[in-house]
Amino acid sequence: MQTAYLGVDIGSISTKGIIIDENNKIIADKYIWTEGNPINAVKQIIHDLRQQINEKEFKIASVGTTGSARKLVGAMLGADVVKNEITAHAIGTLSVFPEVRTIFEIGGQDSKIIIIDNGIVVDYAMNTICAAGTGSFLSSQAKRLGLDVTEFGEIALTSQNPSKLAARCTVFAESDMVHKAQIGHKKEDIIAGLCMAVVSNYLNNVGKGKMIKPPIVFQGGVSKNVGVIKAFEQVTNEKIYVDANSHLMGALGVAILSKRAKKDKPFNLNISDINYQTIGYECNKCPNNCEIICFYKDDELIDSWGNRCANGEPTERTLKNA
């Protein structure tokens, strides 16, 4: 039986799962919307990955989680490795592009830049405050224009004169887009202008002050938009590399990290019938007033977090009185 490794990247918008073999080759992958419920999303991911492999041929030796819900899902899956997105994305990208110096990553609600020197992360920045320049921004503008966001990139490439749009704020960009349409700008020029606005916002905020050096790799859901890729190449005057699995790099990276830390504790992919539940309460035993989250697997308390002192350590008795 061959050994395999599972990586799960749980974001606010999308959840990604990957199974790799000993050579880091992807043997199963899945990308779905989180829809505000990371537990259900991961259950679906595991179910779909299970359908793609022969469980008599492969055994999952270790599990890694990353993303905004990495701790929750790490507890859910009994993960061997729980890592931040910067580390996971860097490891995943380096496995495909060993010479990479700069990583642009734009997701559904946040974006990041990672600077690498000789295979080591030396600088990074994240933007999690403003949605301008993210996938959700493009999706909302696509709906406003009556288009599917997957059409945006190809339409943008047909533009000969991209509209100049305000890029620093979603509200300003939207009002500027409406104004341009009202005075007669072509739809393809407005769409190309939106792609350029995403790039401008990203470089002026997330990339501000960073030493951007080639090779540059672009990843995240927005990297599937060829209009944004073209805009990045025009602004940076550099070739932008995008892998076919660019949207899965976080999951790939944490799967590789789990392989390095494997404890050879086989993971059972059959979790569809397991009941997972979170219960939150506020501890009033000291002035901290910690908000504590308890995580249950089939009514058994398996993990908790949020307490900042021993007073908040949950027990079955304290939970009954919470």
Kindly report, residue by residue over 266-318, the tens digit of the pLDDT.
Answer: 788 888 888 888 888 888 888 888 888 888 888 888 888 888 887 767 765 45
Residue 131's pLDDT is 57
User: What domains appear along the chain, each with residue ranges and CATH number?
Assistant: 2-91+251-260 (3.30.420.40), 98-242 (3.30.420.40), 276-320 (2.20.25)
Question: How many of the other CB atoms lie within 10 Å of CB of 50?
Answer: 18
Per run of 10 residues, the mean pLDDT along the chain (length 322 residues) is: 92 90 95 90 94 88 92 91 94 96 87 94 82 69 77 84 75 77 85 86 88 94 89 95 93 95 76 86 83 86 82 60 50
Q: Which positions ≥6 away from 26 have C-beta within 8 Å?
A: 18, 19, 20, 245, 248, 252
Say which residue the tokens 């076919």 belong to.
Answer: 244
Long-range contacts of 283-287 (CB under 8 A, 24+ apart): 283/307, 283/311, 283/312, 285/311, 285/312, 286/311
Residue 138's pLDDT is 78
Q: What is the DSSP letter of 320?
A: H
What the block records as the tokens of 32 is 């779905």
Residue 248's pLDDT is 93
Residue 179's pLDDT is 82
Q: How far is CA 196 from the centre of its chain?
A: 22
Report CA torsion sign: 125, 128, 130, 136.
positive
Please give the biggest Cα pair distance in the chain: 68
